[in-house]
Amino acid sequence: MACAINVSLAAQKPFITTWKTDNPGISRDNQIVIPTIGFGYYYEVDWGDGTIEKGLTGDAMHSYKKAGTYQVSIKGEFPSIYFNSAGDKEKLLSVDQWGDIQWKSMTRAFKGCSNLHVWAKDAPNLKHAEDVSGMFEMAISFNEPIAHWEMASVKNMSDMFKDASAFNQNINAWDVSNVQDMSGLFWQATAYNKPLFNWEVDNVQNMAYMFWGASSFNQNIGNWNVMRVKSMGAMFEGAQSFNKDISGWDVSQVDILTGMFMGAISFDQDLADWKVNNAQDVSNMFSFSGLSEDNYELIVMNWKKRSVFRGTLNIETLSVSVEKQ
């Protein structure tokens, strides 16, 4: 019965990657190290040189007869790969196939893999993965299509594309309805400017730094339901192109608005109708933004009239202090 239920290892499609052994890393010029974290591993590796190792339960290192480029295949229980900007991160060139691996986490999986491309046409099995935080952080070459990924189980997307400076793919179709943390998601993803209007962000609580330094982003996201968000601190700081109407957002639960549009030099929208009753700090919210004096004064007048909060709103030389009453 067990054989009928479980897919045999022989029939399993492997997770396939390509490595260049003599790129910089912690191992020698003819070696690579597969990085893991935690427990739950029991896998086999085809190292691409005729060598197959079985029963591996943690990090795996292999020495080749000579330096070169090799395709490596993994089968079995392999819940996570974990570069975290260390180890042989520059030796990994590509993901060629995701295969049947059931991923349990993708947190910091390819962080710092500066040469990484994802040529795989299939999608990773993320049904049991709630955390993809920092997955492609500092993966500065990565810019392949991933719109077909199933993201419904994911809860944490923080820093997923942080400093992924080449990334500019359409992921508007992703199901992000269970995500709670999007902080730093597109932090300095300087090329990113694709639609996100289809995202259901109803469960997100943290959007701090979400588009920090995302200098190209200027998409319509005014339809987002942000009613559960607690922090929008520095959300658009340095997002130099952003200037879309988000006046309809329900920000009544937001605690932190500090520096939200700081340095967003194009932003000039009327947010006078925002209900910021819960805001504890609005310091530098509009510092060095593109907000006009008319919009600024209207915002201050309306917010001060009906809200209870503390902080200093700044727009270059303009400054109006609002004391907690």
**56-113 residue pLDDT tens:** 999 999 999 999 999 999 999 999 999 999 999 999 999 999 999 999 999 999 999 9
Domain assignment present for 22 = yes
Neighbours of 220 (CB within 10 A): 12
Contact 77, 42 (CB under 8 A): yes
Domain assignment present for 130 = no
The amino acid that residue 146 corresponds to is I
Please give the residue that has the higher pLDDT: either 24 or 278: 24
**205-226 residue pLDDT tens:** 999 999 999 999 999 999 999 9
Task: Tell me the residue range of the domain where 91 lies.
Answer: 12-102
For residue 114, give Cα distances in angstroms to 142, 143, 182, 280.
8, 12, 23, 39
Domain assignment present for 203 = no
10 band by pLDDT with thresholds 50, 70 and 90: confident
Domain assignment present for 231 = no
Tokens (6 digits) for 38: 């935690």
User: Of 102, 96, 101, 100, which is closest to residue 153 (Cα–Cα)?
Assistant: 102
Domain assignment present for 244 = no
Tokens (6 digits) for 256: 């932190």
Contact 275, 303 (CB under 8 A): no
User: Of 64, 100, 58, 65, which is closest to residue 81 (Cα–Cα)?
Assistant: 58
User: Of 24, 40, 44, which is closest to residue 32 (Cα–Cα)?
Assistant: 24
Domain assignment present for 65 = yes
**280-321 residue pLDDT tens:** 888 899 999 999 999 998 998 888 776 555 665 655 434 444
127 band by pLDDT with thresholds 50, 70 and 90: very high
Q: Per residue, what are the HEC states of the chain? A: CHHHHCCCHHHCCCEEEEEECCCCCCCCCCEEEECCCCCCCEEEEECCCCCEEEEECCCEEEECCCCCEEEEEEEEECCCCCCCCCCCCCCEEEEEECCCCECCCCCCCCCCCCCCEECCCCCCECCCCCECCCCCCCCCCCCCCCCCCCCCCCCECCCCCCCCCCCCCCCCCCCCCCCCECCCCCCCCCCCCCCCCCCCCCCCCECCCCCCCCCCCCCCCCCCCCCCCCECCCCCCCCCCCCCCCCCCCCCCCCECCCCCCCCCCCCCCCCCCCCCCCCECCCCCCCCCCCHHHHHHHHHHHHHHCCCCEEEEECCEEEEECCC
For the chain, give the mean pLDDT.
93
Domain assignment present for 306 = no
Percent of the chain having pLDDT more than 90?
A: 85
Domain assignment present for 214 = no
Contacts of 265 (CB under 8 A, 6+ apart): 240, 288, 289, 290
Number of domains, the chain: 1
For residue 228, give Cα distances in angstroms to 139, 147, 202, 203.
30, 26, 7, 6
> For position 33, which CATH number holds?
2.60.40
